[in-house]
Structure 1
Amino acid sequence: MKYLVICGGTVSGIGKGTIVSSIGVILKACGYKLTAIKIDPYLNIDAGTMSPYEHGEVFVLDDGGEVDLDLGNYERFLNLTLTWDHNITTGKIYKNIIEKERRGDYLGKTVQVVPHVTDEIQNWIFRVSQQPIFDRDTNEESKPDICLVEVGGTVGDIEGATYFEALRQLILKVGLENVCLIFTSFVPYLRGSGELKTKPTQHGNKELRSLGLIADMIVCRSEVPLDMATKEKIALFTNARPDRVFCCEDVNTVYKVPVQLESQGISKQICDKLNIEWRVPNLSRYISYVSLWERLKEDNTTVTIVIVGKYTESQDAYMSLVKALFHAAMACKRKLNLTWVESENLENPEHPDWEKVYQSQGVLVAGGFGGRGAEGKILTVKYARENKKPMLGICLGMQMAVIEYARNVLGLSANSTEVDEHTENPVIIDMPDFDKENKGHTMRLGSKPTSLTQDSLAYRLYNGSSVVWERHRHRFEVNPQYITRFEEAGLIFSGKDPTNTRMEVVELSQQTHPFFLGTQYHPEFKTSPFTPSPIYYGFILAAINLLPSGLIDSRHIEFN
């Protein structure tokens, strides 16, 4: 097993996850099988209870793991299916250690950070890196050749010190020839003087060396390309060779990053360091994808979608949703133009944000939790339904569509018990198997089967599949006592769980509305650049008036 460890210094939020994913794309294009581990030094067990304002979206895996959004990057770029174990947190590590101590596994020894915590971290990495991984490109499960390990935060963070010590020990155990350590750093560009400043990179590497680690390669994030003199200066102060200092300058789409890094020869250097055969990577798919993006940007052939959500101040809270829209728009040969609206604003019918809804070609009502902004979402659904504007509701967005239909078509005084516990007609209720006291990992989570009604819109979007597997994250569901009344009034529940008691997809007939659909699940969690989510693909097709009447195949699209 070979390990490629990526860490960062001085400044966080420079796109380390994208760099990791891009390097993974390159190595996969060289013919190597990959797996990926993200280390998050926080004390939370997982990301499930963290605020989207603070940490961005909670990404959900097939096995129900609620993890850091970087694992979403890995899955989308590498087309792999990861697990809860591929995200290491300090909370998980300490939980394991405390449970072992209580069982007496340490045989009376004093439990310490070194060696017990560092050993637990190493054992976790060794165990997970050896696990077979499912590759959606080949549709096969296989044992990886290379494990990507990203260390969250920056070198010098007090929370990360134990992990760097564990990695130092890991390198000693597996041998220098089996590990490539890449340091990512921000190189500021001063426009006034036209200078690139290398001091943050120098100091970050000095901190790394103080921990007993020496970077084999440096990837510099910068506003502009690095000249050779700057690369040589960085190499001099960091102990890296000049040909192992790479630049990752600002680009207008992240899908340029693999091509950008490989143009500097990064795959050859990594293979040389890991003592493995170098094969010329085939990045033709990404080159075609980027070429299409450039053409669409110049042609200005756009599709305008408005996202109505609760957390729009932090767009990272909807990262997978945005990626799914982008992938679908690219598949439809359109440049995506996104507008954002805080749902609470739409509770005022005179608010100027309504103009964004009116001017859009499609409305996406996003998921969320709690009652704030719920009425704004319901009013948005009402507008889209009555004006026959393509509307997609995700999770809570689907539930708001059901409430809107109950109020304005069935004439009921209806709501969700999440919003109003004493509502007269609780058309959305909490699931009986939901733990109201403990919030972490107590929802309906992960990949679940949905049976689709033949000839429904959802059935056609999935190219005639009668059963589909999508990822869920919800505590509330449609009240089964109201299903018959809804269906008699024209609302179609075209997707249900295998017991036929949980409603997964709701839609209106296309004779009634061109595209009115909601999903209880989150189809955006399984999108990737070359295989867009069928639901989002259909939504964009409807927004540009190109939704066909027959089956729709979103799996074999040419990007050229």
Structure 2
Amino acid sequence: MAGNGKQTKYIIVSGGVISGIGKGIIASSTGLLLKTLGLTVTSIKIDPYLTIDAGTLSPLDHGEVFVLNDGGEVDLDLGNYERYLNVELTRDNNITTGKIYREVIDKERRGDYLGKTVQVVPHITNAIQDWVERVGNISTSENGRAPDVCIVELGGTVGDIESAPFIEAMRQFQFRVGHDNFCLIHVSLVPVVGAVGEQKTKPTQASVRDLRGLGLSPDILACRSAIPFEEGIREKLSMFCQVSPKQVFSVHDCESLYHVPILLRQQGIIDVLTDRLKLNELRLPAEIRSEGDKLWSQWREFARRRARDLDQTTIAVVGKYTYLTDSYISVVKALEHAALNVNRKIKINWVEASDLEESSMHKDPLKYHEAWQHMCGADGILVPGGFGERGVEGKILAAKWAREHKVPYLGICLGMQVAVIEFARNVCGMSGVHSTEFREDCENPAVIFMPEIDRSTMGGTMRLGSRPTKFQDNEFARNSMTRKLYGGVDEVHERHRHRYEVNPEIVKELESKGLHFVGRDADTGERMEIFELENHPYYVAAQYHPEYLTRPLSPSPVFLGLILAASGQLQAYLSGEDVSKDVDTKLKM
């Protein structure tokens, strides 16, 4: 292992033909399979855009912005890495062109290059290699061991202009670390076309030819397709792409993404990686290999449960980015993880928040009635985070419906804030209530701008990253459902991403009417982090984003509470009953 003087192994995952075909899932699945061998794995995502980080990107343009413990706002694929590998990554695990160029320019301004002309080669490519090698040797696992393997996903596709410096850097990098420590997995598309559904290999052949022309030869081909390989396709790809047939993998559509590691393992990818990277030379202790075997057993059971015909629980997700569900990918995963761990299958009713508003009834009555039908027909309601005024009144209506009709509700970030606004308006009878994000001069601000936040810039200026939340020392908080779901602890650490917070001046009025802030920030106690409504099956909200810490084998407690309440199992769970007793093998959470 690297920590014992051994060289970290690097697996590069590149893409061809088109983007968005699953490089992140294949990279995550490969990492998981290596963990089942007992290896310690970390990951790096390279995004070739000039933006410094993902924080200022629209979710509708780029999908969810994922937040790390250190406050890094990064690409959503890092969420996949954390969930599959059960690691805690940092902002340095996400490389962008902007970060690299800023580092090189800062060095040039300091005079580090001693007057030499600064160029893409060697200065930019060296900076990329140095960054990958540095991060690839930093532990991200709970056991503190230095990584045995670092998986590097190269965003975009081969041939993109913006990817060229990174491709060249990886070409050089293979010689820096040595042949036995470098493996390239190329993910490409094998489309099915024509009336008879024939699989075509030419796009993959062209992609590999372009890659080889840039100085990189794939060791493994991961071929995405709607169906398994037809007869002769593997051999054809092998012949024209200059790889052995055993190095060509069919990554066809299957029951769920959780089955991708199983699919790859069945086709022998572990043997190929072991041979290519000389993994047997690492000689791991028996107890570590045993832990890997246990992980694989748990993962297979989890995937098996995903494919079973389980009872269905329906959750209405009321948001403003519902046209692109990748905007809420961590929310989707958190719901799925929670449901499967209590023997349920999740069905999500996507509700565009603005469609619930009265103005929508006049503009498009059909959308209005469909939105209300989807929300009212759900077993539970979730209002996730978001920015901007569009759809806010619709989210407030969703919170009101859930409160008045005793429907299980979970609010996250803005979902907490709209529930506070609704409660202040309709239960406390306060007039002119709103958030200063949307009505800066409102009469009664229920949500205010945080005093220490910089208004002059956008990127990286929010309250970001892991912060402690302390459960309050009063009778309601000590016995709250939320605290019990967290295992009765005094303090939890969750990840934040917000600029606005509940106005502490109205908290006493809210609590006097039954909306209890059971969790507050551990430093001052003035920031409201968790509320729970009394005399309600489950009406809970959090200022932080619990979806960022969900894991397939360890779901987020507040998401678990929502699913349990929506499926009628919450009280049984809190009393200690085994709500998964009809499953053959109960997963340990």
Structure 2: distance between partners of 1:559 and 1:222: 31
Tell me if structure 2 keeps the 8 A contact 1:464–1:551.
no
Indicate the residue corresponding to 1:459 in structure 2: 483
2:554 is equivalent to residue 531 of structure 1: yes
Distance in structure 2 (CA, Å) of the matches to 1:11 and 1:552? 49
Q: Which moved more, 1:186-195 or 1:87-96?
A: 186-195
* SS of 2:571 mapped into structure 1: coil
Q: Residue 12 of structure 1 is aligned with which of 13, 16, 19?
A: 19
Residue correspondence of structure 1 range 307-322 to structure 2 within 5 A? 307-322=317-332
For 1:268 and 1:455, locate their aligned partners in 2 and report how far apart those are by CA, in whole Å: 52
- Preserved CA contact (<8 Å) 2:191 2:225: yes
Which residue in 2 is equivalent to 1:330?
Answer: 340
Q: 1:207 to 1:89 in 2, by over 3 A?
A: same
Task: Indicate yes or no: 2:552 matched with 1:542.
Answer: no
- Alpha-carbon distance in 2 for matches of 1:437, 1:554: 52
Equivalent residues, number: 551
Instruction: Report the residue type matching 1:124 in the other structure.
Output: W
Q: Which amino acid aligns with 1:172?
A: F
What residue is the counterpart of 2:586 in the other structure?
558
Pairs within 5 Å for 1:199-348: 199-277=202-280, 282=293, 283-296=296-309, 299=310, 301-348=311-358
State the Cα deviation string for residues 152-200 of structure 1 (Å, max 9, x = none): 0000000000000000111011111110111110101125123110011
Q: Who is 1:186 aligned against?
A: 189
Query: Matched residues in 2 for 1:30 and 1:148: separation?
Result: 15
1:126 corresponding residue in structure 2: 133
In structure 1, distance between residues paired with 2:578 and 2:554: 6
Aligned to 1:482: 506
Among 505, 527, 544, the residue aligned to 1:502? 527
- The equivalent of 2:286 in structure 1 is none
Q: CA deviation at 1:134?
A: 2.5
Contact kept, 8 Å, 1:415 with 1:423, in 2: the verdict is: yes
The aligned residue for residue 94 of structure 1 is: 101
Cα deviation, 1:103-122, whole Å, max 9, x if unaligned, reads: 11111010000000000000
- Counterpart for residue 115 of structure 1: 122
| Residue aligning to 2:475 | none
Q: Pairwise mapping of residues 351-362 of structure 1 onto structure 2 (< 5 A)?
A: 351-352=368-369, 353-362=371-380
Distance in 2 between the 1:389 and 1:362 partners? 6
Q: CA RMSD in A?
A: 1.7
Query: Does the 8 Å contact 1:306/1:356 carry over to 2?
Result: yes
Q: Is the 8 A contact 2:55 2:73 kept in 1?
A: yes
TM-superposed deviation, 1:440: 0.3
2-structure distance, mates of 1:92, 1:488: 49
1:441 pairs with 2:464 = no
Which secondary structure does the structure 2 equivalent of 1:477 belong to? strand
2-structure distance, mates of 1:177, 1:516: 55
Decide whether the 8 Å contact of 1:452 with 1:496 is kept in 2.
yes
Unaligned runs of 5+ in 1: none
Alignment correspondent of 2:541: 518
State the shift of 1:291 in Å: 1.8
1:228: Cα distance to partner?
5.0
Paired residue type of 1:506: F
Q: Secondary structure in 2 aligned to 1:133?
A: coil
| 8 A contact 2:256–2:307 mirrored in 1 | no
After superposing the two structures, state which structure 1 stretch, 416-425 or 542-551, moved more.
Answer: 542-551
| Equivalent residues of 2:171, 2:215 under 8 A apart | yes
Indicate if the aligned counterparts of 1:460 and 1:551 stay in contact, CA closer than 8 A: no
Q: What is the CA-CA distance between 1:290 and the residue it aligns to?
A: 2.1
Question: In the aligned structure 2, how far is the partner of 1:215 from the partner of 1:228?
Answer: 22
**Structure 1, residues 109-159: CA drift from partner, whole Å, max 9, x if none?**
100000000000000001100112123xxxx22200000000000000000
Which string of whole-angstrom CA distances, capped at 9 and with x for unpartnered residues, describes residues 220-264 of structure 1? 001111145111111111111111001100013100000000000
Q: Deviations over 1:456-487 (max 9, x none)?
A: 22211101011000000000001111111111
Shift in alpha-carbon separation, 1:419–1:104, aligned structure 2, 3 A:
same
- Alignment-mate amino acid for residue 425 of structure 1: N
Give the alignment's TM-score, normalised by structure 1.
0.96
What letter matches 1:287 in structure 2?
A: R
The percent identity for this pair of structures is 51
Say whether the 8 Å CA contact 1:365–1:377 is kept in structure 2.
yes
- Report the alpha carbon displacement of residue 558 of structure 1 after superposing the two structures with TM: 1.9
Which portions of structure 1, spanning 4 or more consecutive aligned residues, are displaced by more than 3 angstroms? 278-282, 549-557
1:390-428 residue CA offsets vs partner (Å, 9 max, x unmatched): 010000000000000100011112000001111000110
Residues 452, 191 of structure 1: alpha-carbon distance in 2 compared, 3 angstrom cutoff: farther
Distance in 2, matches of 1:55 and 1:543, equals 31
Alignment partners' CA distance in 1, 2:575 and 2:79: 28
Whether the 8 Å contact between 2:30 and 2:261 is mirrored in structure 1 is yes
Q: 1:461 touches 1:551 (CA, 8 Å); kept in 2?
A: no
Q: Which amino acid aligns with 2:408?
A: P
Task: State the secondary structure of the residue aligned to 2:279.
Answer: coil
C-alpha contact 2:192 2:200 (8 A) present in aligned 1: yes
| Contact 2:188–2:204, Cα closer than 8 Å, also in 1 | yes
For 2:124, what is the secondary structure of its paired residue?
A: helix
Cα pair distance change 1:555/1:149, threshold 3 Å: farther
1:33 aligns with 2:33: no
Q: Secondary structure at the match of 1:159?
A: helix
Residue 72 of structure 2 corresponds to: 65
Match of residue 3 from structure 2: none
Distance 2:187 2:279 in 1: 23
Flag the 1:236–1:504 CA change in 2: closer, same or farther, 3 A.
same
Residue 551 of structure 1: CA displacement? 6.7
Q: Between 107-116 and 126-135, report the one with greater CA deviation.
A: 126-135
